[in-house]
């Protein structure tokens, strides 16, 4: 019998729709897979077996239909799920069960997609390796001694380990794409405002973007279509029709890119990427040229300032957003013995509840926003952000999409970068500019370097998400998908 966990989402949806298998069978197969391997991978913080099977039963009874009805999904633990623990991988929210669903979760449920559980992540989505989870790291299915990327390492690892066919991630500086790259999966960041942030535990409100994680480009596009669209409850949501990303992905599978111009960013050339990453990227470019694409070098002179600008803007917004975790309204409360002041209780709660990386970013952001320093730091970073946006706009007057490696290096061993935050931050060197701009970007597997996956990034103009899916699907048709070693 076919192993249902090895099938992609599109195939599973077809089998369920034609009643060749039941949604309950598909959900059970994945739940059993989680039970068999997740003690080694640790992709999940919570498994919602009863809820997933109940949702699958509704599909089998014909109560819910749709393109992905019955296809199970995992959800990053920074997205609110009613009645299911949502902790942002932090002790300060341990055991918290939201009283409502995030908009994207409500759309998953309306589409008939059983939620398998909540995936591990760097605490409050702050990290590039999932080593900063308060509940222990997630392992990379390609090599259990290496990181699965971050902050959404749990979602990508769950897909790579065949525990789920699809997952939801969030991307603030590369947290969908970078884990996709190092786990050999597909990770897509939609246009900012193209997917709702309502019900997302905020890290950096002007950057956070929920999006799809999958094993194929078409699967990512199918999930994108389910979760995207205007939401009046999100003030940053774009009130426009969603580009037909599914049709674009299917068009790209034909492997014809005649007339498509791919821009290589001149400033990324001396990037210090590992030789194997550079080689896989160059081979992929050659494959795209054979499909008819034209390569054009473009200059984006302010991209080199993206990393420092991001690490002022994002921590500043985090400092503001995380002020709500004060030990008073909900979540952890420490030291309230009746003899301490409210300020002391807040201080003790935040000291115990937040991990080292979250504290680092809160301190940095608070300093950048403080009187006398706001203009010099946060204000200047926002000016750089405007210049980066102009670089993108100028580039897209010359080319259809920009391309680069997703990350400069493959999955690194646990503990090898935690002592040097700057080296950790370099994992997002190529992904951060797109977040500052707000456009869509996708990471697609493009080969191996010393046995570890390499990702190829495609960046498109705002609300041209379909454009990146077409190129991504064409690349996938040329180089194929990756199969992790058996666990």
Q: Hey, what's the torsion of the CAs at 376, 378, 379, 381, to 10 degrees?
A: 100
31 has a pLDDT exceeding 80: yes
Assign 337 a pLDDT band (cuts: 50, 70, 90).
confident
267 has a pLDDT exceeding 80: yes
What residues pair up with 401 in beta bridges, in sequence order?
262
How far is it, in rounded angstroms, from Cα 178 to Cα 180? 5
339 has a pLDDT exceeding 90: no
φ and ψ of 463, to 5 deg: 60, 20
Assign 271 a pLDDT band (cuts: 50, 70, 90).
low
Q: Hey, what's the torsion of the CAs at 468, 474, 478, 482, to 10 degrees?
A: 50
The tally of CA atoms less than 13 A away on the side-chain side of residue 364 is 17
Which residue numbers are catalytic?
A: 76, 151, 175
Average per-residue pLDDT in the chain?
96
Task: Report pLDDT for 336.
Answer: 80
344 has a pLDDT exceeding 90: no
Name the class of domain 4-253.
Answer: alpha beta
What ranges in 228-355 are assigned the alpha helix state H? 245-252, 275-290, 306-321, 342-353
Assign 340 a pLDDT band (cuts: 50, 70, 90).
confident
- 13 torsion bin: left (phi>0), alpha (psi -120 to 50), beta (else): alpha
Tokens 């493009």, residue?
446
103-110 vs 217-227: helix axis angle to the nearest 10?
110
Segments making up each domain of the chain, as ranges: 4-253
DSSP 3-state of 386: helix
Contact 291, 474 (CB under 8 A): yes
Instruction: Give, in order, the Cα–Cα distances in Å from 44 to each of 138, 158, 249.
Output: 8, 8, 29
331 has a pLDDT exceeding 90: no
pTM (2 d.p.)? 0.97
Task: Report pLDDT for 346.
Answer: 84
Assign 334 a pLDDT band (cuts: 50, 70, 90).
confident
Which two structure tokens, joined as six digits, stand for 347? 């201080």
């Amino acid at each position: 019998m076919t192993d249902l966990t090895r099938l992609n989402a599109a195939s599973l949806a077809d089998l369920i729709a034609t009643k060749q298998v039941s949604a309950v069978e598909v959900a059970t197969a994945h739940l059993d897979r989680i039970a068999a391997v997740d003690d080694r991978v640790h992709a999940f913080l919570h498994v919602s077996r009863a809820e997933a099977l109940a949702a699958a039963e509704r599909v089998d009874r014909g109560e819910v239909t749709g393109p992905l009805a019955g296809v199970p999904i995992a959800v990053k633990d920074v997205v609110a799920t009613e009645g299911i623990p949502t902790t942002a991988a932090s002790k300060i929210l341990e055991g918290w069960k939201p009283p409502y669903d995030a908009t994207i979760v409500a759309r998953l449920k309306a589409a008939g997609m059983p939620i398998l559980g909540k995936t591990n992540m760097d605490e409050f989505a702050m990290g590039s390796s999932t080593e900063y989870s308060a509940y222990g790291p997630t392992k990379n299915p390609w090599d259990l001694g290496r990181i699965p990327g971050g902050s959404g390492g749990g979602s990508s690892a769950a897909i790579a380990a065949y525990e789920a066919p699809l997952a939801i991630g969030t991307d603030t500086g590369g947290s969908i794409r970078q884990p996709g790259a190092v786990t050999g999966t597909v990770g897509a960041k939609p246009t900012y405002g193209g997917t709702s942030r309502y019900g997302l535990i905020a890290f950096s409100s002007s950057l956070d973007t929920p999006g799809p994680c999958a094993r194929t480009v078409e699967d990512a596009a199918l999930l994108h279509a389910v979760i995207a669209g205007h939401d009046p409850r999100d003030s940053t949501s774009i009130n426009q029709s969603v580009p037909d990303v599914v049709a674009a992905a299917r068009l790209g599978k034909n492997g014809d890119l005649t007339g498509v111009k791919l821009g290589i960013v001149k400033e990324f050339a001396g990037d210090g990427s590992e030789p194997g990453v550079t080689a896989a990227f160059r081979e992929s470019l050659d494959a795209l040229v054979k499909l008819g694409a034209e390569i054009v070098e473009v200059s984006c002179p302010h991209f080199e300032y993206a990393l420092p600008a991001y690490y002022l803007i994002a921590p500043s917004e985090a400092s503001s957003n995380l002020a709500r975790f004060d030990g008073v309204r909900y979540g952890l409360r420490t030291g309230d013995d009746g003899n301490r002041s409210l300020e002391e209780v807040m201080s003790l709660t935040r000291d115990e509840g937040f991990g080292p990386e979250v504290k680092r970013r809160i301190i940095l952001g608070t300093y950048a926003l403080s009187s006398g320093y706001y203009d010099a730091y946060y204000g200047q970073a926002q000016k750089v952000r405007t210049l980066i946006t102009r670089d993108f706009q100028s580039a897209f007057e010359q080319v259809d999409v920009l391309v680069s490696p997703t990350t400069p290096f493959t999955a690194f061993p646990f503990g090898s970068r935690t002592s040097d935050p700057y080296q950790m931050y370099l994992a997002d060197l190529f992904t951060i500019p797109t977040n500052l701009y707000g456009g869509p970007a996708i990471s697609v597997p493009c080969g191996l370097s010393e046995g570890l996956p390499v990702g190829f990034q495609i960046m498109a103009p705002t609300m041209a998400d379909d454009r990146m899916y077409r190129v991504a699907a064409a690349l996938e048709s040329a180089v194929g998908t990756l199969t992790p070693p058996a666990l």
